[in-house]
């Protein structure tokens, strides 16, 4: 999340960033907002249903989804800034 948070400002006009917590409690997740990412750049929420919908087995996982719901990329754990930027560029290209 810290790397995604750092690059999010470069894509703010093209991509909506959303962090979805799950398998915990909304209260515990709310305590971590601001520690792992800035809520000014990344929206957040809590939903076990979204985790199930996208088959997320645990944290951390990132899923890039187009505005019409097509999954462009996914990775588990850290991907590194260069790889994340490449994935975000692909997401922008898909629309």
Number of domains in the chain: 1
Residue in 85, 32, 93 with CA at minimum distance from that of residue 60: 32
16 band by pLDDT with thresholds 50, 70 and 90: very high
Region of residue 69 (left: phi > 0; alpha: psi -120 to 50; beta: else): left
The pLDDT value recorded for residue 19 is: 92
Q: Which domain holds residue 18?
A: 2-94
CATH of the domain at 42: 3.40.30.10
More confident residue, 85 or 32: 85
pLDDT (mean) for 79-90? 94
């Amino acid at each position: 999340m810290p790397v995604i948070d750092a690059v999010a400002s470069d894509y703010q006009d093209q991509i909506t960033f959303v962090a979805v917590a799950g398998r915990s409690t909304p209260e515990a997740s709310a305590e971590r907002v601001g520690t792992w990412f800035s809520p000014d750049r990344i929206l957040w929420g809590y939903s076990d249903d979204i985790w199930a919908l996208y088959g997320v087995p645990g944290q951390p996982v990132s899923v890039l989804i187009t505005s019409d719901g097509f999954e462009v990329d996914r990775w588990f754990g850290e991907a590194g800034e260069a790889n994340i930027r490449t994935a975000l560029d692909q997401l922008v290209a898909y629309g």
